[in-house]
A and B are shown apart, each in its own frame.
Chain A
Amino acid sequence: MHLRFRFNKSGKVRFTSHRDVARIWERVLRRAGLPLAYSEGFSPRPRLSFGLALSTGYESDAEYLDARLREPIDFHDLPERLSALLPVGMDVTGVVEIPSSADSLQQAVTSCRWEVDVIGVDEQIAAEAVARALAATEIVVTRERKGKQVTDDLRPGVLALDVLEPTESGCRLAAELGTQPRALRPAELLNALEPRLEALVVRRTHQWITAGDERCEPLAIAPSPATSNIEVS
């Protein structure tokens, strides 16, 4: 049986790394007594796969995890049970069974929506920077990759960019950034804006799978009767 979980990550626990989160999940699933399927070989590991890594320090409402089980289980109460075992700041907000043929999260997800609290600028300056970026035909950056300088155009990855509202120390932006072939990270975009903006809090609000004109979140790919997509406030 293949299950897909959605969970959030906020507060102090956001300072745990992607690898730490993976280890936290392994322990939590074992504590919950789930019949995890293990890989073969010298060092068998539970067959878990996480989607796009969330940068350390970022918050999220939309993290996903696929877990393979040895046998079918009743999973309707899992969000509650697992949330009780997870650290403060991590809660499971949904779980569905997915077909074993489903694309991995890494392959399937096409974009992420982010909310970014930038500091030290007012709404107007931020709005100008956003407008300049959207008007540009290309946003070329150079970065180091495996010791070599490579140039990248970030513009195709910027699917949407807005100023949402003012905050106490600056303002909040919303951005939808593409993840294929390479996930564009909010920090990269902020660095490339004119003027360069600095983020205080970054929060992933959604991950989207787009196919043609249809767009759905990763839990929605399941055959609907088996879902248990509860909302946890």
Chain B
Amino acid sequence: MRKGRSLFGLLFALGAFPGAAEEIGDADHGGGVFNKECAACHRIGPEAQHRVGPRLTGIFGRRAGSEEDFSYSKSMARMGADGLTWTLETLDAYIANPKALVSGTKMNYRGLASDADRADLMAFLREFSDEPQNIPEAEPTALKTNPDLSPEVLAIKGDPAYGEYLASECQTCHQADGSDQGIPSIIAWPPEDFVIAMHAYKQKLRPHPVMQMMAGRLNEEEIAALAAYFATLE
């Protein structure tokens, strides 16, 4: 159920900020959220340094994985190279469910389910970014929503036989034995993570063009079938 709520967060993020720069949330309350949820690993402010996690000063508009003196996960570096930039939309989705957006992130955080808390946190983080009035919003495509998508998609039981056929298309690039030589492994994922990740591509929240195209033409049953099949590989 936790993931179900997180998915709500992700969907909310897609439609929640229609370009208005002001009134994200209560920055003062957000400061409290930061201290409780983030400050164990992150610092923010003019003098802030990296700790377990990178400094968050100036996070908005920054390319993911781009702080030079911080050692990111391979997965985060890859998302940055693919074009992931921190905007209200992408950062909100990441905080809601880190692994839905960046599968192999080192950020060992369960996600912040409350939409209101995330909005307040975002307002707080934004006070430490340059030109707060001009923070780049996500591309218009990132605002697309799929009206048929609901948490019930997570309950769909995939047909493994169909998944096996569909998976053959994935295996042109993603190796069946889980080898990762420039293209990530997708085997043995919990099915829910797989489904969420694929919908994030389908909605163009994750940036990679090949994956957006591949996920874009799969329906909910097909995504569930793939998730079911790949979960069985070892």
Genuine A/B complex: no
- Give B contacts to A, CB under 8 Å: none
